[in-house]
Structure 1
Amino acid sequence: MCRHLAYLGPAVPLGRLLTDPVHGLLRQSWAPRMQRYGTVNADGFGVGWYAPGDPVPGRYRRAAPVWGDLSFVDLARVVRSEAVLAAVRDATLPGADGEAAAAPFADGTWLFSHNGAVRGWPESAVPLASDLPPAELLRLAARTDSAFVWALVLRRLRAGEDPGTALAEPVRELAAAAPGSRLNLLLTDGRTVAATAWGDSLWYLSDPQAGRTVVASEPYDDDPRWAEVPDRTLLTASRTSVLLTPLKEPAP
């Protein structure tokens, strides 16, 4: 269910990360190597990036498969950024809200993506929905589990919680309410990255000397420096460091 990637480092063309690599997100949209659930990520895609001097990212999203968007290939060739979050989508349920359902979701400086599925959606999420003010439910970007997960994370970010906690706590709450959910979350503000490995693959490539960190559902090339993140783990990273913290299972 979906593939995603976040990058922090020296400015590079988007294509260097997404379309040029032999196993980049473009190819992962039809031939992922490590996807455990689903086979084709053809229900939309998106990329968000940060321009110099502007903390609010721009986004390009579409409901169609990325391989059919020739404009995106051209865009990725010329747009450069020091911070990127991108995703290709395999929908939990078909037909929900088109482009609005494609990651990355955004608010202010934040970009967010969810790789996975909330088991039993939407009924299983009802207990957590009661924790959100009605206005926030009405403002959901789409009628999808990913948009709902983003609302839970965003509520905590707005309350001042650090990015790691803002991801880890909703994961535990959702895992308790809907056991068996797959909750690989990815979040950036252009300066740091936070991610969870919960039910699906997650990898990172760290190059402190170059000031470069990549976090992705799966490696886009065969660089031996890629390292797999253990399941039930929170990853927090900057351009020069990566920290892995085990996540506790929710109480029965």
Structure 2
Amino acid sequence: MCRLLGFISPTPTTAADLIGADECRQWQSMGTLHDDGWGTAWVDTGTEAVARFRTPTEGADDPRLTRALDADVSEGRICHLRMATTGLADLEENTHPFLAEGVAMAHNGSVHPIERLREYVSVSEVGGTTDSAIIFALILRRMRHGERLLDAVTGVVRKLRADFDHPGINLLLLTREEMIVVHATAGTEVPYLQGPLPPDHHDHYYRMSWRRSPENAMIVSSSGLEHRGWSLIEQNTIMRLTVPDGAETIIRL
């Protein structure tokens, strides 16, 4: 169970430019609850390759996360705050985003039982021990067989929804050309959380929203922000966001 934030833009920008520094601090502050690591992947403005940083430490007060949200410009970025599923270790290899072959992925949700999910892949295919790492490995496998990213993601999500009981699959995937958003959590049990919580964490933990800026940048966030002026992403939807086309493709699952 985690928090997601990502954008894609026609010109280099930051999350703070798109939603304001106050909203970025609100998102980062959720790292006190989602405190099992954080990470970010972005389109490097110099090389146009997707780069990544991740650490299994708390992000709420980490100046590196503040800088990633406020100062480090990019044409695309995804950020992730991790709250580890019970029993899954706080290791760097389990920290999101995962990155391979020019594709970065961050996940919010869970697929159970993980023991059965692990039967889908070989150990050599997985760069981590979690359900999220296995989802990423399954997507990469389909891409290696010639599928484009959108088709690979759609195929994996449909298979997991067919084979598992109410899996939680909210995803952000980033390449140098596109951001793919998955919101597929219908029936997923909302985690039981105690204490003062950010907005929507009791009843709408898995909700996702998006907004287009006047400059045609598109930003996506999981719940926990005020989201004034944002649009809800429909349940059981996959969106392919590109610049300048916007929501170029929407797939209903």
TM-score over 0.5 (shorter chain): yes
- Tell me the distance in 2 between the aligned counterparts of 1:15 and 1:206: 14
| SS of structure 2 residue aligned to 1:165 | helix
Q: How does 1:10-89 map to 2 (within 5 A)?
A: 10-13=11-14, 16=17, 20-22=21-23, 24-30=26-32, 40-74=33-67, 76-89=69-82
Alignment of 1:162-181 (within 5 A): 162-181=148-167
Structure-2 separation of matches of 1:109 and 1:17: 25
Q: Does 1:124 align with 2:129?
A: no
Instruction: Tell whether 2:218 aligns with 1:213.
Output: yes
Indicate if the aligned counterparts of 1:198 and 1:231 stay in contact, CA closer than 8 A: yes
Match of 2:147 in 1: 161
CA distance in 1, matches of 2:48, 2:239: 22
Residues 26, 52 of structure 1: CA spacing in aligned structure 2 closer, same or farther, 3 A cutoff?
same
Structure 1 Cα separation of the partners of residues 235 and 135 of structure 2: 19
Q: Secondary structure at the match of 1:175?
A: helix
Asked if the contact 1:89/1:102 (under 8 Å) is kept, the reply is: yes
For the 8 Å contact 1:167–1:195, the answer to whether it is kept is no
CA 1:63/1:127 → structure 2, altered by over 3 Å: closer, same or farther?
Answer: closer
TM-score norm. by structure 1 comes to 0.81
Deviation at 1:94, TM superposition (A): 3.8
Equivalent-residue separation in structure 1 for 2:51 and 2:20 (angstroms): 18
Tell me if 1:110 matches 2:112: no
How far is 1:75 from its partner? Answer: 5.4
- Aligned residue pairs total 229
Specify whether residues 160 and 211 from structure 1 end up closer, same or farther in structure 2 by C-alpha distance, changes over 3 A only: farther
- Unmatched 5+ stretches in structure 2: 186-205
Summarize the Cα distance change of 1:215–1:70 in structure 2 as closer, same or farther, 3 Å threshold: closer
Separation in 2 of the partners of 1:197 and 1:67?
25
SS across alignment from 1:187: strand
The within-5 A match list for 1:138-157 is 138-157=124-143
* Stretch of structure 1 that moved more, 6-15 or 43-52: 6-15
- How far residue 179 of structure 1 moved from its aligned partner, in angstroms, is 1.1
- Secondary structure of the residue aligned to 2:21 is coil
TM-superposed deviation, 1:17: 6.2
Amino acid at match of 1:193: M
Q: Is 2:40–2:52's contact at 8 Å kept on the other side of the alignment?
A: yes
Single out whichever of 111-120 and 92-101 deviates more from structure 2. Answer: 92-101
Q: Does 1:244 align with 2:250?
A: yes
**CA distance in 1: counterparts of 2:217 and 2:68, whole angstroms:** 22
Is the 1:19–1:26 contact (alpha carbons within 8 Å) kept by the matching residues of 2? no
Does the CA contact (< 8 Å) of 1:167 and 1:185 recur in 2?
A: no
Structure 1 residue 222: deviation in Å?
3.7
**Aligned position for 1:231:** 235
1:19 and 1:76 in contact (8 A); partners too:
no
Gaps of 5+ in 1: 31-39, 248-252
* TM superposition score normalised by structure 2: 0.81
State the Cα deviation string for residues 17-37 of structure 1 (Å, max 9, x = none): 69923364303334xxxxxxx
CA distance in 1 between partners of 2:50 and 2:19 (Å): 17
Q: Within 2, Cα distance between the matches of 1:60 and 1:18?
A: 22
Letter in 2 for 1:47: T
User: Against the structure 1 CA distance between its residues 141 and 15, is the aligned structure 2 distance closer, same or farther, given a 3 Å change threshold?
Assistant: farther
**How far apart in 2 are the matches of 1:141 and 1:236?**
25
Percent identity between the aligned chains?
24
